[in-house]
Structure 1
Amino acid sequence: MKAFWLAMFILVFSTSIHAQYQLTGHIHNAEQEALPNAHIHLNDISEIASEYGNFKIKNLSENNYYLTITYVGYQPLDTIIKIDKNIHLDIILQSDNLLEEVIIEGSKITKSTFSIERVNQAYLQKEYTGSLAKSLEKLPGVNAMEIGAGSAKPIIRGFGLNRIVVAENEVKQEGQQWGADHGLEIDPMAVEEALIIKGVGAIAYGSDAIGGVLKVNNENTPDKEGLSGMLNLVGKTVNNTTGGAFQLNYKNNNWFYKVKASGTSYGDYHVPTKMINYLNYQIPIYDESLKNTAGKSTSLYGQIGYDSKKFKSTLSISNVYQKAGFFPGSHGIPSIERVLPDGDKRNIDLPFQRVNHLKFINNSTYYLENASVDLSLGYQENHRQEWSAFHTHYPNQQAPIKDPNVELDFLLKSYNLALVYNKTFNEQHKSKLGIQTQLKDNQISGYNFLLPEYKSSNLAFFATHEYRKSKATLISLGLRYDYNHIDIEKYYDNNLYQYLIQNGSTSQEANHYALRSSPLNKKYHSFNLMAGVKHEFSNFWEISANAGTNFRIPTAIELAANGIHHGSFRHEQGDNTLNPEKGWVTDLNLSYKHADFKASISPYAYYFSNYIFLKPTGEFSILPHAGQLFKYTESEALLSGVEISISKTFFNKLNVLAVAEYIYNQQLTEEKNKNFPLPFTPANNLYTEVSYKAWKSHKYLKNTRFSINARFNAKQNRIAQGEKITPSYGIFGAGFSTDISWRKFMATIHLKATNLFDDKYYNHTSFYRRLEIPEMGRNIQLSILIPFGK
């Protein structure tokens, strides 16, 4: 009997020394609806919530744990929790379209000091317009540089092209970003989540991220076991678009698989004008239809993944193909004959562009105790061509034997590797260490010359640290070192040499100009710092501030371009003496959130000691029929602005949204009369939207909303050299959306109209602005989303 009581004493004593606790919780949304099968990660422990949103994790020792909770369509939870007793959490995940703070009852969570906007797949499907960049324009500080009807590039705080990084699954997208005449080779219908990171929040992405980062996440683990997916059908009236996307997911224990496919076909788009003026030529627009702006695109995406308590890995393979025509009046010398109707609005004739983007990405995460290691590997092959009927200004130039109508041909191969170590020390301290490397190889062909062949490499190290001084205050620090090397090939143009000799140039002079690109081998080093702080004054008021240095390595096009770029309507010439852009950035965000009212104001300023841009020289090009020479140059510059966002819901049904942006920038030179604004600056703008939730519940219809919206752009008269003043405008739109549920059939319908009154207006950053071509006319778009297996 004594032995029994001794054993019981030892058992109780040992249990008291190594006390075991449990964590339970209930996960739901703001409407108190349970979120079944939500994913819970507690250090290296993984659980899935029940169909009622409940979970339980037992046998936990006293410690600080890193807690992550995710659910598709809602913003993730990411915080530190101390376990020293049995704890129950009531967790509300926010489903707002914009990034909202995840709420845990009785606790405040401040995730980052950076300015970040996050949208989920439901938001992107609702706002889909044909391109990813255009679908994000309602977010503060985001604009789109449109290229016809099917593609666009993002502009963040007035920055675009090579000053914005687009990254998919942590791998930087590479595809001749310098070109204003083509968009992103990313399928907008396949994007599961997108984040806009602004200012110094881009320190982890390096060169080209001065303006910010558009981060695409396509590696979410499916919520449910078995088969699920979605069919998305789209139609547009402005150019008779027909398209659709198909997504299929399968999950079996730790393994999951995804297949996505999409395709669109569209015709020449409608513009509300009958005449345009280009280079003093009056060019008619027949039937108010812009000839040869038809196009098509296809996308295939496959992913296999494994997700366990200690390891997650995905392998993604995608291929995006796009073909789109150029308005014939935008290439070469204007001609009325070339814009005569051909009787087929879906025909894609010369000139046109074609691009194919193949991508392999592998992402792996190893979960350790209070830490994780992320490894990202990527290979990309971007093949871009511009086709135009063979023409030459040199009498001795012969058409190529193969593909004689390929004017420009770029084949860019990119290799990426990133290794990041994340460590959570305790409730107060969290660090990240990373190493990144990239190799690029660009090959060229075609009967015209613009950009030489080159190879480049980059090696970078970065570190960030977050210090939570209190529950209300978060401080972040970061540093980054980059080493870049670029090797540009020589390009000698014998056709130009013969042309100049025949026109009386000396051999020495002809040789000088015929060397279109000199060999160049340069190395660059850069060291950058950032710091930020975020403080919650109360449950309603919050402020964050960030400051740091910025840099950007000059691109091959800026260093070595030397040719007529018909896509941009000019002779562009690089400068191999350009230095890396260097500058300072600071931004501030003040926000107020209370119940159904939200407001924020975000002023920012960027200073550059040497901002690089394309500037007209006032000199005529030596190339025949090339006109004025535009040369890449650098100048001290200031860019500043403010973003304002206000949202208010009345009576739980009526929501009012207003997003405004003011941008001011200027070159800073010793000659004050030449301190022009910088190129491609969006006009100051205001977007407003009023939406009404028709009824809370209906037998067959749910989440039914009607909306009206308006976008106002101020007159853009602060223009760079060579640009045109763009008049102010206001356009209006309307929308309707609802979820249909009938027996076992479910669908979501989005119906919207843009430019409702078919107004004629110009977008200052549009590709076709130089030709006085207005933006697209009235468009009615219908999309139908049919989920299955959910």
Structure 2
Amino acid sequence: MLKRLFPIITLILLLCANSSFAQNDAYHITLNVTDENTHLPITGVTINLFPSDLKGNSDGAGLYKFTFSRQEAKTPVLVKYSAVGYHLHQQKILITKDTSILISLNPIVNKLQEVEIKSKQAATPRTSIATTLTEKQLEKTRGGTLAETLADISGVNMLKSGSTISKPIIHGLHSNRILILNNGIRLEGQQWGAEHAPEIDPFIAQQIHVIKGAESVKYGAEAIGGIVITEPPALPQTAAISGNVNLIGASNGRAVTTAAMLTGGLKAIKGFGWRLQGSAKKSGNIKTADYYLGNTGVRELNFSAAAGYQTGKSNYEAYYSRFSTELGILYSAHIGTIEDINARIEAGRPLESYNFSYNITAPRQKISHQLLKLTGHYDLDNHHKLDITYAFQKNQRKEYDIRRGDREAIPITDLVLSTHTLDLKLDVPLAHGAKRSYGINSMMQVNNNIPGTLANTFIPNFDSYTAGLFIIQHWIKEKYELEAGLRYDYKYFDAAGFRYSQTTAQEQQNENTEQYYGGNNSFNNVTGSAGILWKFNTRWHLASNIGLAWRAPTANELYSNGLHHGAGLFEVGNPAMQNEKGYKWITSLKHSGNLLKFNLDVYLQYISNYIYSRPDRSFKQTISGTYPIFRYTQTNATFAGIDFTGSYQFLPAFSYQLNASLIRAKDIKAKNYLPYIPADRISQAINWNLDLKGSYLQFKHSFIRRQTRFEAESDYAPPPGAYHLFTMTAGTSIKLGQQSMSINMSADNLFNTLYKDYMNRYRYYTHEMGRNLTLRLAYKF
């Protein structure tokens, strides 16, 4: 497809080049408007030229182009620039030839927060291959998990463990290969587990960015697959109180979700702003197309608070959040004997019948995650900018299993992970609109198994110390932008664990069964990335990015040798694991026309020492039941794929939308297919925008192919068949004086299809969720 598009692009460029020579009697002027502090382009600047009648706005690249006849150019021209958040700027220019003029606008002090938001969005520089979900888009998915919120982005899928646990997949990679930033802080929990969902409340986000490239230079290790950035709203600069309230109800699971946010300031302290936010959720047993899934309820309670103070040259902010959830683990994933598990896999569904219930019993998980963030931003002399950020995170994960006697109230796993991070970044402006950033990142982690579980530890206690240095430079030109960076990381990992080497109660009484494990490991790596954006014109852009990222093996990949309770698997690690290194190239072609808009991403990634868990088709019988055995191994692997997102407005009120993604992944050592790679998928939708108030109706169809690229006899059951899903969504917005009410209704799995998804780790025993009707109300004041 790219071979067909390149001749078209070349032809367009030639036509544009030819047209520049067509008028020899005129001068061609380009105004390049940038922010004086960040040196990034400013969109939507109003530009007036006097005494002529020319008037316009800068485009997405901060550019405004106009043509002056030689006759008009005999006298100086007065140019005035105005933009929200910037001081009015004017200058006189004498036009004597074709030229490009760079203009820097000075931000207004009392709009400092808005300027800061733009500088923070350098997290998604224009040379990155990134997708942003806006506030309006997020309103249509409120009430879902982070993975469910991102699932409609082309190239992003979900890894699920039953119906209650999900985590995002970017280009076939997940868990410790996806870096998640919560309000600018990398999320540090027990994310190594396939059934350990990210501890983030999506209600805090005003925008969510997904970077698909391997851009670990700025963010550090583990960004092999991509980066997810949740961005909360800016703190207010006035004393006026504002906020929103969300109320959501869903039919499947009889779920009820409520959330609220309140923001304001203090009249007595100019520059002070605050924000309070919270959410709660309760749902019961999920139902497939024709049966309930036992013990699949969820309870969730989240809270966050932020306060900040701004002066003319500095900005300080404190942020605290607490995420807590309790969720049931599907009964059918915990099975007594080998005969039972074979019978369930053959049946493909639970052998028991369940009714609806909100009760959550063992097996279950109980997780809490706390984050404290302190930041300081300083505008130094010569327009240098310094950012200092400290964060503390405490993650506690308790997993409860079905146990004898009164032991079900005792967690079988009780982990506490404490993380301290300190980050420093210095931005230095250079000549001709370039900018250089220097950074230092440091992290200290302590992971402890809390005594009293009366069970083997799944991963050991460990201390981990990480330090990193980076340098990034950004160049902005009229026709292109460049960004390149280099980084060095060092990690020290000290683990110490204890377990019984046998599994039965009688064998555990033997004094010789005690086993100590662990050891010291150190890892280091140099990474780099480079990206370029070609701006052919305002409608056609081409971006390309290449990056080297890495990660050290996690504690479970090194040392696990036991039952992973939440996953319902018996996992075996390998202490000899090496660093995983990924080399990723991704190119994106973007067209933004009046009627036709599309984005085509093509990527290729090579990962050396790729770590994955592989089913060995045997079972392990323990005191609590019988479980499939998965062993961690390493190989060299390749990932290649295409993502496409496009829309076409074929009538004033109607548009057609198409999303598609495919990925090919292989073990190049064994020349086999890799397991658990998403199947090809395509979704299409018809959108009807009823009026200018935001009323809309959407009918969507999704098709997911059967995963045919798998190794026979390598899994406990072959991949499930292809399936079609239909969704209908409608919404409107109602003005209530100065306030507004948004109403959104959706019907997922409209025709109540009974199906299985290959990326669900519980697909051996169960089907996916059936029809789900959701009503969302959002009141803003």
> 1:616 and 1:343 mapped to 2: Cα distance?
32
> Which residue is equivalent to 1:636?
636
> 2:638 and 2:191 mapped to 1: Cα distance?
23
> 1:73 and 1:231 mapped to 2: Cα distance?
24
1:372 maps to amino acid: K
Q: Would the alpha carbon gap of residues 447 and 298 (structure 1) be closer, same or farther in structure 2, given more than 3 Å must change? A: same
Matched, 1:685 2:681: yes
> 1:240 and 1:595 mapped to 2: Cα distance?
42
> Which residue is equivalent to 2:777?
784
1:490·1:519 contact (CA, 8 Å) conserved in 2? yes
> Which residue is equivalent to 1:351?
363
> 2:160 and 2:621 mapped to 1: Cα distance?
31
> 2:459 and 2:656 mapped to 1: Cα distance?
48
> Which residue is equivalent to 2:98?
none
TM-score under structure 1 normalisation?
0.79
Matched, 1:171 2:214: no
> Which residue is equivalent to 1:558?
557
Q: Which runs of 5+ in 1 are unaligned?
A: 1-20, 29-34, 36-48, 80-98, 102-109, 274-287, 392-397, 697-701
1:787 maps to amino acid: K
Q: The residue matched to 1:411 in structure 2 has which SS?
A: strand
> Which residue is equivalent to 1:234?
248
CA shift at 1:63, angstroms? 9.5
2:685 maps to amino acid: E
1:204 maps to amino acid: K
Q: Would the alpha carbon gap of residues 584 and 390 (structure 1) be closer, same or farther in structure 2, given more than 3 Å must change? A: same
Q: The residue matched to 1:467 in structure 2 has which SS?
A: strand
What are the residue-to-residue correspondences of 1:293-692 with 2, within 5 Å?
293-333=296-336, 345-368=357-380, 369-391=382-404, 405-445=410-450, 446-449=453-456, 450-468=458-476, 470-493=477-500, 496=503, 499-500=506-507, 514-515=514-515, 518-617=517-616, 629-669=629-669, 671-672=670-671, 675=672, 677-692=673-688
1:64·1:427 contact (CA, 8 Å) conserved in 2? no
Matched, 1:775 2:768: yes
CA shift at 1:221, angstroms? 2.5
1:459 maps to amino acid: A
Range 710-719 or range 658-667, more displaced: 710-719
CA shift at 1:340, angstroms? 5.8
What are the residue-to-residue correspondences of 1:88-99 with 2, within 5 Å?
none
CA shift at 1:729, angstroms? 0.9
2:224·2:582 contact (CA, 8 Å) conserved in 1? no
Q: Deviations over 1:526-585 (max 9, x none)?
A: 011222221122232221112232211100110111101233232211111110012321
Q: Deviations over 1:456-502 (max 9, x none)?
A: 1110111111123x311112211110100111103142765985599
> 2:302 and 2:434 mapped to 1: Cα distance?
42
Q: Would the alpha carbon gap of residues 623 and 521 (structure 1) be closer, same or farther in structure 2, given more than 3 Å must change? A: farther
CA shift at 1:325, angstroms? 0.9
Q: Deviations over 1:311-346 (max 9, x none)?
A: 12211111111011112111232779x986676611
Q: Which runs of 5+ in 2 are unaligned?
A: 1-35, 37-41, 47-56, 58-80, 93-100, 345-349
> 2:508 and 2:146 mapped to 1: Cα distance?
49
CA shift at 1:663, angstroms? 0.4
Range 325-334 or range 450-459, more displaced: 325-334
2:86·2:105 contact (CA, 8 Å) conserved in 1? no
Q: The residue matched to 2:592 in structure 1 has which SS?
A: strand
1:716 maps to amino acid: Q
> 1:710 and 1:129 mapped to 2: Cα distance?
21
1:460·1:480 contact (CA, 8 Å) conserved in 2? yes
Which of 715, 733, 741 is 2:727 aligned to?
733
> 1:224 and 1:707 mapped to 2: Cα distance?
38
Q: Would the alpha carbon gap of residues 618 and 754 (structure 1) be closer, same or farther in structure 2, given more than 3 Å must change? A: closer
Q: Would the alpha carbon gap of residues 200 and 25 (structure 1) be closer, same or farther in structure 2, given more than 3 Å must change? A: closer
CA shift at 1:634, angstroms? 0.4
> 1:152 and 1:633 mapped to 2: Cα distance?
23
CA shift at 1:118, angstroms? 1.3
2:658·2:682 contact (CA, 8 Å) conserved in 1? yes
> Which residue is equivalent to 2:95?
none
> 1:217 and 1:373 mapped to 2: Cα distance?
20
Range 472-481 or range 624-633, more displaced: 624-633
> 1:717 and 1:386 mapped to 2: Cα distance?
35
> 2:177 and 2:229 mapped to 1: Cα distance?
14
> 1:690 and 1:774 mapped to 2: Cα distance?
28
> 2:509 and 2:166 mapped to 1: Cα distance?
43
2:568·2:627 contact (CA, 8 Å) conserved in 1? no
> 1:254 and 1:732 mapped to 2: Cα distance?
49
Q: Deviations over 1:718-761 (max 9, x none)?
A: 23632631211110011111111244552011111110000012
CA shift at 1:633, angstroms? 1.0
1:127·1:136 contact (CA, 8 Å) conserved in 2? no
Q: Would the alpha carbon gap of residues 77 and 438 (structure 1) be closer, same or farther in structure 2, given more than 3 Å must change? A: closer
Q: Would the alpha carbon gap of residues 501 and 366 (structure 1) be closer, same or farther in structure 2, given more than 3 Å must change? A: closer
CA shift at 1:151, angstroms? 4.2
CA shift at 1:55, angstroms? 5.7
Q: Would the alpha carbon gap of residues 235 and 147 (structure 1) be closer, same or farther in structure 2, given more than 3 Å must change? A: farther
Q: Deviations over 1:504-526 (max 9, x none)?
A: xxx9xx65xx52x5231011110
2:390·2:421 contact (CA, 8 Å) conserved in 1? yes
> Which residue is equivalent to 2:194?
180
2:497·2:517 contact (CA, 8 Å) conserved in 1? yes
2:86·2:107 contact (CA, 8 Å) conserved in 1? no
> Which residue is equivalent to 1:113?
127
> 2:683 and 2:689 mapped to 1: Cα distance?
20
Matched, 1:760 2:765: no
1:751·1:782 contact (CA, 8 Å) conserved in 2? yes
Q: Would the alpha carbon gap of residues 200 and 501 (structure 1) be closer, same or farther in structure 2, given more than 3 Å must change? A: closer
1:426 maps to amino acid: A
1:752·1:780 contact (CA, 8 Å) conserved in 2? yes
TM-score under structure 2 normalisation?
0.80
CA shift at 1:622, angstroms? 8.8
Instruction: Report the aligned-residue RMSD.
Output: 3.5
What are the residue-to-residue correspondences of 1:122-133 with 2, within 5 Å?
122-133=136-147
Range 66-75 or range 140-149, more displaced: 66-75
What are the residue-to-residue correspondences of 1:215-230 with 2, within 5 Å?
215-218=229-232, 220-222=234-236, 225-230=239-244
1:323·1:352 contact (CA, 8 Å) conserved in 2? yes
Matched, 1:695 2:691: yes
CA shift at 1:196, angstroms? 0.6
> Which residue is equivalent to 1:17?
none
> Which residue is equivalent to 1:247?
261
Q: Would the alpha carbon gap of residues 77 and 240 (structure 1) be closer, same or farther in structure 2, given more than 3 Å must change? A: closer
Q: How many residues align?
A: 679
